[in-house]
Structure 1
């Protein structure tokens, strides 16, 4: 029932308090990094574009940093939240959150990208591997592939062998440019 001006303010169901509700368990200045809200699940989509490779790594990683920071989970990828020992009372909570962040990362990658790093054990390990692979260009490899494609000839190869060789080079070139 909504409160109306002039209503009986002695009845607590009709008044609205302007004082903040205090919760002894809440610490707004130092949030629990292991806290997962009910709305957070393995299928959450944190950014609109999946990681395709080098082509969009910079913008994707920036969007992920913003999303993970907003969710108070950035420490799992930047190394500020370290893995506790297995006998620590925090280990299960850390493992749960790490698994959640790993799932978010994997779900926000193109299959060709995720298939190469899906077995990383920590979100930090996966983040560093993505950084290693995609943060720098691979110009010399692309140049060599361009050269091989431009110089390929059928010569003594059968049509099937020639086509297979050309297709392999073309796919590698495409993946390098995708990355």
Structure 2
């Protein structure tokens, strides 16, 4: 720290605090340390305040000895004002969970280190856990885009704790998780030179669209079959109706031929039928005589 002006920053780049806070919409929680850090660091750097979190601007003495007297140190006053500004920016972007990690801390450097230790989690156990999740991750019923976002999130969490996943490892684990539907795609790309994960994800998304295009859903086929069934049923109903009308007209014609007075088959007279013959009993008694005469 060469002067108080270097601590307070260049006035030409000074932006109102309220405006700065609008530039950092993310609230820090346990799962988004890297995105939060990537948002807040450029803001502090632009305001020439990054030295308060990386240790370059330590706290000067509160007092200085001038002519044998202890007096307030102007450099400390300037430093304190800038330190408070950084604290306000950081605290305004913390969740309640993250706020509990910095209780009692008074400098921006202390707060930064506490958050880094709490959420970067530089631990071998954490690294192994995330690596296991990455290797075992499967696309399942998710879209390629959703699967890719989850995959990248784990890679980012590993990067946040200092373990960068190599590109060829990303490619291998990502392809393994796509599943059997992408077997041809995965086999082909494993044989090709390694490309960036972003390019591989884009190609996988395009391949997914291709598979959807060539594998026509069965719903339209079912609808076509249902339509055909309705058509066939309608045709059969029409045939049945036509046949019924034909039988009805046939029956009508039969009744039409018998529309005259009934003719008795016994006495050969019109006006009654054999079943209503007036002397049916006497006719039955004379039947043998009639038969004999006929013989």
TM-score, with length taken from structure 2: 0.34
| 1:83-105 C-alpha deviation (Å, 9 max, x unpaired) | 11001321111001101101110
Pick closer, same or farther for the CA change 1:137–1:128 going to 2, 3 Å.
closer
Contact 2:55–2:109 (8 Å) recurs in 1: yes
Structure 1 residue 81 corresponds to structure 2 residue 57? yes
Q: CA deviation at 1:42?
A: 6.6
Aligned equivalents of 2:99, 2:10: Cα separation in 1: 24
Pick closer, same or farther for the CA change 1:44–1:67 going to 2, 3 Å.
closer
Structure 1 residue 64 corresponds to structure 2 residue 40? yes
Aligned equivalents of 1:52, 1:119: Cα separation in 2: 19
Number of aligned pairs? 111
| 2:27 equivalent in structure 1 | 50
Where 2:105 maps in the other structure, the secondary structure is: coil
| 1:125-157 C-alpha deviation (Å, 9 max, x unpaired) | 0000001111027867xx9xxxxxxxxxxxxxx
Unmatched tracts of structure 1, length 5 or more: 1-30, 144-179
| 1:18-55 C-alpha deviation (Å, 9 max, x unpaired) | xxxxxxxxxxxxx63314857433784141211112x1
Q: CA deviation at 1:115?
A: 2.7
Unmatched tracts of structure 2, length 5 or more: 64-72, 130-295
Aligned equivalents of 1:122, 1:43: Cα separation in 2: 22
Q: CA deviation at 1:112?
A: 1.7
TM-score, with length taken from structure 1: 0.54
More helix by share: 2
| 1:95 equivalent in structure 2 | 80
| 1:40 equivalent in structure 2 | 16
Aligned equivalents of 2:17, 2:41: Cα separation in 1: 18
Query: Within 5 Å, which residues of 2 pair with 1:140-159?
Result: none
| Aligned-residue CA RMSD (Å) | 2.7
Contact 2:7–2:78 (8 Å) recurs in 1: no
Contact 1:42–1:103 (8 Å) recurs in 2: no
Looking at both structures, which has the greater relative contact order when contacts are Cα pairs under 8 Å and sequence separation is at least 6? 1
